[in-house]
């Protein structure tokens, strides 16, 4: 049976909680993840209305369309974030997943996990690493809850904290730390959006760099970026065929290692092969 936690996370896009009428448009944009925004994109005076709008969206059953729906709440270290959590706990129809910004310590995740468990909500979690403290604790954060499905790299805030340029080279160390932490826990890891809408080739190059470093996907700031992101992070036909063959040969051998194309392959490699096949199946690739 495929692992239900394995799904395409090639692209994501935000939609403002203040504008619930935009939610269907975001779902139709082609992104694998649609995130309803309650944090940075909402002014303090509008937080309560956005929160109410966001939670109301999930009062109706959601389509089984393969699109992952998330609500980005405010930091758990702020009053707005605590109010967001209180509202999630109060509803009988919680969002399928919550995105936690500015996570600094594992304790934040453990606390929210405990509250959701007590309330018997099955809500999944996604965490953003975008602070120095969060970067230092990223390994422990990745292992802090079985509810976590993905880690996100918040490059803009991270660059500000590190006092460096928000470019690939200055942030390479930080990105690598987050990739390492996520991989150690078997989580997907998703890169920060590319902000220049007038530079599609630059965005594609940045997406390729992120993929080669180990990222599963990358954010979009506009729907027109999504097709290119999906293309970059979709396994090729050759990769899919190889993954299927490796899985089949491992199953036939019934051992801890096999020789494929003259190379010794051990079981840990199978995790990525299963991920490629599961994603390919889910998005209809052959």
pLDDT, mean of each 10-residue run, the chain (286 residues): 76 96 96 97 97 96 93 97 98 98 98 98 98 98 98 97 95 98 95 95 97 97 96 94 89 80 78 86 72
Residues 6+ apart with CB under 8 A from 286: 237, 240, 280
d(CA 251, CA 6): 20
Q: Which pTM value belongs to this model?
A: 0.92
Q: Which pLDDT belongs to residue 256?
A: 72
Q: Which pLDDT belongs to residue 135?
A: 98
Residues found in the chain:
286
Strands 11-16 vs 188-191: parallel, antiparallel or unpaired: unpaired
Q: Which pLDDT belongs to residue 178?
A: 98
Evaluated on CA atoms 11, 94, 77, 140, the torsion sign reads negative
* Number of helices and strands in the chain (H, E): 12, 10
Q: Which pLDDT belongs to residue 286?
A: 47
């Amino acid at each position: 049976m495929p692992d239900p936690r394995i799904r395409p996370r090639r692209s994501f896009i935000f939609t403002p909680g203040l504008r619930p009428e935009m939610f269907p448009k975001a779902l139709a944009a082609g992104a694998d993840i649609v995130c309803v925004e309650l944090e940075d994109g909402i002014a303090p005076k509008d937080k309560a209305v956005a929160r109410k709008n966001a939670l109301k969206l999930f009062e109706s059953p959601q389509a089984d369309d393969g699109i992952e729906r998330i609500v980005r709440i405010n930091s758990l270290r702020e009053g707005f974030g605590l109010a967001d959590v209180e509202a999630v706990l109060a509803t009988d129809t919680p969002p399928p997943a919550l995105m936690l910004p500015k996570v600094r310590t594992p304790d934040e995740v453990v606390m929210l996990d405990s509250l959701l468990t007590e309330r018997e909500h099955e809500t999944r979690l996604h965490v953003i690493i975008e602070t120095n403290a969060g970067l230092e604790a990223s390994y422990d954060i990745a292992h802090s809850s079985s509810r976590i499905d993905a880690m996100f790299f918040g490059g803009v805030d991270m660059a500000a904290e590190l006092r460096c340029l928000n470019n690939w080279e200055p942030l390479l160390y930080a990105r690598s730390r987050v990739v390492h932490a996520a991989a150690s826990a078997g989580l997907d890891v998703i890169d920060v959006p590319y902000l220049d809408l007038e530079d599609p080739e630059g965005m594609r190059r940045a997406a390729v760099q992120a993929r080669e470093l180990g990222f599963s996907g990358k954010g979009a700031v506009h729907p027109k970026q999504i097709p290119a992101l999906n293309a970059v992070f979709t396994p090729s036909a050759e990769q899919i065929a190889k993954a299927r063959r490796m899985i089949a040969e491992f199953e036939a051998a019934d051992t801890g290692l096999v020789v494929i194309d003259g190379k010794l392959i051990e079981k840990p490699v199978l995790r990525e092969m299963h991920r490629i096949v599961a994603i390919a199946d889910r998005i209809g690739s052959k």
